Amino acid sequence: MANGHQRDDNARTDDRDSDRDTPITIQPLDLAGSALDDVIALYNAVWGKSGAGAAAVDAQIRRHPRYPGFKAVVARAPDDRAVGFAYGYTNAPGQWWHERVAEHLGAERTAGELTGSFCVTELAVLPSHRRHGLGRRLLAALLADLPHAAATLSTQRDNRPARALYEAAGWDYLIARMRFTPGDREWVVMRRRLRPTGHEH
Ligand SMILES: CC(C)(COP(=O)(O)OP(=O)(O)OC[C@H]1O[C@@H](n2cnc3c(N)ncnc32)[C@H](O)[C@@H]1OP(=O)(O)O)[C@@H](O)C(=O)NCCC(=O)NCCS
């Protein structure tokens, strides 16, 4: 749920522009190695987190691999630098995001459209590597071969790049606007069926 602050899509990190044309590979995240550290650094670079915010992100990203159905992919440059990542897990009652979205959907829709779906929790690409199809590739790799009937996610209502990507990839709107906490910015919740109708259960 990329709950950080959206940054200028054209913002630059330390990455060099010449890096944009190097071949990028998408790999499963190796939880046994230091890959989780790479993902945390990437998250903080993309969302501009530091200090207490970064500590909260660190704890959250280290907790999520223990959730059921966890899956993560990372995009790496030829020198092994991580330049993008995506991860998610199975939505289940009791999880923070599931409960907040369930409050808006009501019991019947929560049971039918939310619980048990694959929650795309994070998707991020370094600013220097955007608009080269990497976000689309990461999302496709993350959703490939999942057993879930559908996937769900939330993104900021004013996050034009993310909404455009998801819309182009066939995602529909489950909730057109909601806040996760009072005074928070507005979010949309989206859903995409992963299997044909009739195989939901
Ligand atoms: C959203 C994000 C992951 C997209 O990554 P990306 O690698 O630039 O996306 P892609 O190049 O694969 O773009 C795929 C499609 O998404 C849409 N898109 C992506 N960026 C866009 C932008 N800035 N404006 C309009 N459409 C955009 C387009 O339809 C694009 O297809 P096209 O290039 O053929 O027109 C990236 O902008 C990012 O990391 N943003 C910050 C983190 C974030 O917002 N994450 C998602 C929210 S939870």
Query: What are the two backbone dihedrals, phi and then psi, of residue 20, each rounded to the nearest 5 degrees?
Result: -60, -30
Residue 123 within any structural domain of the chain: yes
Residue 8 within any structural domain of the chain: no
CB 155 within 8 A of CB 190: yes
pLDDT of residue 159: 98
Which of 134, 114, 116, 113 is closest to 124 using CA atoms? 134
If you average pLDDT over residues 24-51, what whole number do you get? 90
pLDDT band for position 201 (cuts 50, 70, 90):
very low
In whole numbers, what is the pLDDT of the chain averaged over residues? 88
Residue 3 within any structural domain of the chain: no
Q: Where are the beta strands (DSSP E) in 104-149?
A: 118-125
Ligand 1, residues 136, 142, 155: which to mutate, most atoms within 8 A of Cβ? 136
**Residue 147 token pair:** 């057993």
- pTM as predicted: 0.89
pLDDT for 8 beyond 70 = no
pLDDT of residue 11: 35
If you average pLDDT over residues 10-36, what whole number do you get? 67
pLDDT of residue 10: 36
pLDDT of residue 197: 66
Residue 10 within any structural domain of the chain: no
User: What CATH number did the domain enclosing 28 receive?
Assistant: 3.40.630.30
pLDDT band for position 21 (cuts 50, 70, 90):
low
181 to 9, 99, 100, 134: CA distances (angstroms): 25, 12, 9, 31
- Ligand 1 centre distance from Cα of residue 8 (Å): 12
pLDDT band for position 22 (cuts 50, 70, 90):
low
Domain that holds residue 180: 23-193
Report the number of secondary-structure helices (H) and strands (E) in the chain.
6, 7
Tell me the per-residue pLDDT of 57-111, one tens digit each, with 9 for 90 and over. 999 999 999 999 999 999 999 999 999 999 999 999 999 999 999 999 999 999 9
Residue 94 within any structural domain of the chain: yes
Total domains in the chain come to 1
Residue 175 within any structural domain of the chain: yes
Report the pocket of ligand 1 as residue ranges, CB < 6 Å.
2, 9, 46, 123-125, 130-136, 155, 159-162, 164-165, 168
Residue 5 within any structural domain of the chain: no
- Ligand 1 centre distance from Cα of residue 125 (Å): 8
pLDDT of residue 196: 79
pLDDT of residue 6: 36
pLDDT for 132 beyond 80 = yes
- Ligand 1 centre distance from Cα of residue 167 (Å): 11
Residue 130 within any structural domain of the chain: yes
pLDDT of residue 20: 56
Q: Where are the beta strands (DSSP E) in the chain?
A: 25-28, 71-76, 82-90, 118-125, 150-156, 172-178, 187-193
